[in-house]
């Protein structure tokens, strides 16, 4: 089982790669989308600007979107989750448009949100055995899905409730960083790896 960790210049590949390897996955770092979609699953890392990451997407997003709609497993973290959406207020450029909705600036006196925040989780296999979850955040923007059913976890910052995680088919997005969220975050990554193994 080989997982593609996309390198689009977004940073934090090392810590995320180590967390995936710790869960038993073989990690292949690549910037080649065709290669990534030929492996067992796709990981879109966080940290970085939406515009730069969107520019690293293929001009034709349809093959990626269709693969994810067809059940190809994917985990998007922070910026990676935001790429699932149509567009972002942060900068020009189109996302993958897997999840209907957009990305908006976090309307709060202090931005970015940096540090720990409670995460209210739904009943989803990605959260199996996680228990109470406090996620580590580093974000100035939040995802706003058009459909409430796409959201599987929530957090609140300065009285604004927002999507902490989304799911479509076998694609999960986390606005927080599970690789930096202690044992519960590592369990989320392990659950994703186990889910991919079960699909192989």
Q: What is the 3-state secondary structure (H, E, C) of the chain?
A: CEEEEECCCCCCHHHHHHHHHHCCCEEEEECCHHHHHHCCEEEECCCCCHHHHHHCCCCCCHHHHHHHHCCCCEEEECHHHHCCCCCECCECCCCCCCCCEEEEECCCCCCCEEEEEEEEECCCHHHCCCCCEEEEEEECEEEEECCHHHEEEEEEECCEEEEEEEEECCEEEECCCHHHCHHHHHHHHHHHHHHHHHHC
The reported pLDDT for the residue numbered 73 is 98
Closest-CA residue to 162 (of 123, 113, 198, 93): 113
**How far is it, in rounded angstroms, from Cα 14 to Cα 184?**
19
- CB distance 1 to 39 below 8 Å: no
Q: Looking up tokens 């149509």, which residue turns up?
A: 86
138 pLDDT above the threshold of 80: yes
pLDDT digits (tens, 9 = 90+) for 68-110: 999 999 999 999 999 999 999 999 999 999 999 999 999 999 9
Q: Which of 74, 90, 143, 179 is catalytic?
A: 179
162 pLDDT above the threshold of 70: yes
Q: What mean pLDDT comes out for the span 138-165?
A: 97
The reported pLDDT for the residue numbered 12 is 66
Indicate if 177 belongs to the active site: yes
β-pairing verdict for 74-77 and 133-139: unpaired
Closest-CA residue to 103 (of 131, 64, 145, 75): 145
The reported pLDDT for the residue numbered 10 is 59
CB under 8 Å to 38, separation ≥6 — which residues? none
Phi then psi dihedrals of residue 12, to 5 deg? 50, 30
Q: What mean pLDDT comes out for the span 161-186?
A: 97
200 pLDDT above the threshold of 70: yes
154 pLDDT above the threshold of 80: yes
Indicate if 26 belongs to the active site: no
Q: What mean pLDDT comes out for the span 1-19?
A: 86
Domains contained in the chain, CATH given: 2-199 (3.40.50.880)
Between these two residues, 154 and 48, which has the higher pLDDT value?
A: 154
180 C-beta neighbours (distance < 10 Å), count: 20
46 pLDDT above the threshold of 90: no
Q: Which of 74, 78, 90, 143 is catalytic?
A: 78
Average confidence score pLDDT of the chain? 95
Indicate if 179 belongs to the active site: yes
Q: What mean pLDDT comes out for the span 119-134?
A: 97
117 pLDDT above the threshold of 80: yes
C-alpha 139, offset from chain centre: 13
The reported pLDDT for the residue numbered 13 is 86
């Amino acid at each position: 089982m080989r997982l593609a960790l996309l390198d689009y210049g977004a940073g934090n590949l090392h810590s995320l790669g180590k967390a995936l390897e710790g869960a038993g996955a073989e990690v292949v770092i690549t910037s080649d989308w065709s290669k990534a979609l030929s492996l067992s699953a796709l990981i879109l890392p966080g940290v970085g600007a939406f515009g730069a990451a969107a520019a690293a997407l293929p001009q034709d997003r349809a093959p990626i979107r269709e693969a994810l709609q067809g059940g190809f497993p994917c985990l998007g973290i922070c910026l990676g989750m935001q790429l699932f959406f149509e567009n972002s207020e942060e900068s020009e450029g189109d996302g993958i448009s897997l999840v209907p909705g957009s990305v908006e600036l976090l309307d709060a006196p202090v931005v970015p949100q940096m540090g720990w925040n409670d995460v209210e989780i739904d009943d989803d296999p990605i959260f199996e055995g996680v228990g109470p979850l406090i996620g580590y955040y580093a974000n100035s923007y939040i995802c706003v899905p058009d459909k409430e059913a796409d959201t599987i976890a929530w957090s609140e910052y300065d009285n604004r409730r927002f999507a902490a995680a989304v799911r479509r088919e076998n694609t999960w997005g986390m606005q927080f960083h599970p690789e930096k969220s202690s044992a519960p975050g590592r369990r989320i990554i392990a659950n994703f790896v186990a889910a991919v193994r079960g699909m192989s």
